[in-house]
Structure 1
Amino acid sequence: MSIDAGNPAPSQPPLFDTMATMRAMRRLKPDPVPDALLEQLVQAAVWGPSGGNMQCYEYVLVTDRSVMERLAPLWKRCVDAYLATTGKHGPEGMDEAAYGRMVAAIEYQRDHFAQTPALVIPCYRMPAQAPDEEGLRRSAEALGESAGQELARIQERFAALAEGSCVYPGVQNLLLAARGLGLAANITIWHLMLEAEWKQALGIPEDMHTFAAIPVGWPRGNFGPVRRRPVAEVIHRDGW
């Protein structure tokens, strides 16, 4: 789009600069993060949307160094399991040097996890509801027979995505807030490979689902522009 003096470009909200420089920051200083800032991060997460406005989320916030040291072996096992599946080369199209830097940062975080200042674990438990037979019948009628059968087939995936959609918008808010406050953070789900052990270590109820493990701290290094595919490559206008 051409710009001239008579039609100046609209100013870009500061949030756009925050998003454009919100890289996954895995190299953290061991310095503690004030509780007030950590509570701001969780507040930002709570402001995220929640399906049906049920707000059934809970956030485990770990700052105690002795607890972090107990979690470090679990983290190492999960990271090693992940790295074992990635191979020595990055995915097709990814710059090899960039891939090497990413792996080095992951290994650094693994080896220094016990010194992580804070860890946030978002949790969610969808409330149990008695089956509404009449509601299910009307839903099936609205969808049509074949679509209703397909929904029944993917019900487990549908339920998982329903919970995730109540959690991950809040997680993104948390990551944006961290970047805005000058804190480093990155989202991982590797803990799910040993979720039962993580729950046991943190006293999380068995029926509570965990959705991420987010290390937070002051960054070693600088924030910088994210590297993403061009928008023109990912847009499919009015259909695929």
Structure 2
Amino acid sequence: MTDDQATDHATEPVPGSGPPLFETMSTMRAMRRLKPDPVPEEMLERLVQAAVWAPSGSNLQQFHYLVVTDREVMARLAPLWKRCVDAYLGSAGKATPPTMDADAYRRMVAAIEYQRDHFAETPALIMPCYRYLQDKGSAEGLRAMKDALGAGATARLLRGNVFGSIAEASSVYPGVQNLLLAARGMGLGATLTVWHLFLEREWKEALGIPKDVHTFGVVPVGWPKGRFGPVSRRPLGEVIHRDRW
């Protein structure tokens, strides 16, 4: 997404063609240029409430949302944010993606750099986390899994705890999407990034997050300097596969 600005390739919402939520989704840009004005606490709580309403795997509800508004804490996080952003821009974000217009990509990078350079002024930061109730599984349970899936599939599933990681993420990101939609609906700007994972240990230490809690994103929130509008996305004909790939 191009951040804050419309593009020639934006997908225009059709007024009256569906419920208001559709227009909210089709105009929810990543807003990285934020005003330093504070966001009322009750609005931040409404964002977290929207996140909590999302589904949770096995209904465990082990999600947690760390909300940062203290300027001193934000100032301590700013150098970490800069290191993470610079790592991204210097590696994965160095070249224009083949699916993105070069000018649009330059505008997005400029917005990322603006957010990096003004991070200490961010009004609020929300970090979605999850404390997974890890169950190593009994010998009987593992035998049942092997009987149902086969030895090879069971070994692949357990290797590197891939299933556990995805299970945690699937219990967090629906809530994050709810949060982002709620922010858009209330006129707040926000965007989800996972760049903090470059230095997750340092972020957790700075914020006192327990070792058994995993972090899944950093969501800066504030009043946008830019404007909402149609997002740019690939047409459905390029992404839908019916019955098989």
The structure with the larger Rg is: 1
Of 165, 168, 175, the residue aligned with 1:163 is 168
Of 77, 82, 95, the residue aligned with 2:83 is 77
Q: Deviation at 1:223?
A: 0.3
More off after superposition, 180-189 vs 85-94:
85-94
Q: Does 1:32 align with 2:48?
A: no
2:101 match? 95
1:218 match? 223
Q: Deviation at 1:68?
A: 0.5
1:110 match? 116
> Quick check: 1:61–1:119 contact (8 Å CA) kept in 2?
yes
Q: Deviation at 1:132?
A: 1.8
CA distance in 2 between counterparts of 1:197 and 1:71 reads 9
| Mapping of residues 1-16 of structure 1, within 5 Å | 11-16=17-22
CA distance in 2 between counterparts of 1:126 and 1:88 reads 34
Q: Deviation at 1:138?
A: 1.3
2:151 match? 145
1:3 match? none
2:178 match? 173
Uncovered stretches (5+) of structure 1, i.e. residues with no partner: 1-8
Q: Counterpart of 1:164 in 2: which secondary structure?
A: helix
Structure 2-normalised TM-score?
A: 0.90
| Deviation per residue, 1:112-138 (Å, 9 max, x gap) | 000000000011011133522212211
Q: Deviation at 1:168?
A: 0.5
Q: Which amino acid aligns with 2:114?
A: Y
More off after superposition, 220-229 vs 133-142:
133-142
Matched positions, count: 231
> Quick check: 1:89–1:99 contact (8 Å CA) kept in 2?
no
Q: Deviation at 1:148?
A: 2.4
Q: Which amino acid aligns with 2:131?
A: R
Q: Deviation at 1:156?
A: 1.7
Q: Which amino acid aligns with 1:218?
A: W
Which 4+ runs in 1 deviate beyond 4 A? Answer: none
CA distance in 2 between counterparts of 1:24 and 1:158 reads 29
Q: Deviation at 1:40?
A: 0.4
Uncovered stretches (5+) of structure 2, i.e. residues with no partner: 1-14
> Quick check: 1:56–1:124 contact (8 Å CA) kept in 2?
yes
Q: Which amino acid aligns with 1:184?
A: G
Q: Does 1:55 align with 2:70?
A: no
| Deviation per residue, 1:84-133 (Å, 9 max, x gap) | 01465411131010000000000000000000000000110111335222
CA distance in 2 between counterparts of 1:122 and 1:145 reads 35
Q: Which amino acid aligns with 1:177?
A: A
Identity %: 67
| Deviation per residue, 1:191-240 (Å, 9 max, x gap) | 11111111111111122100000000000011011101001110010010
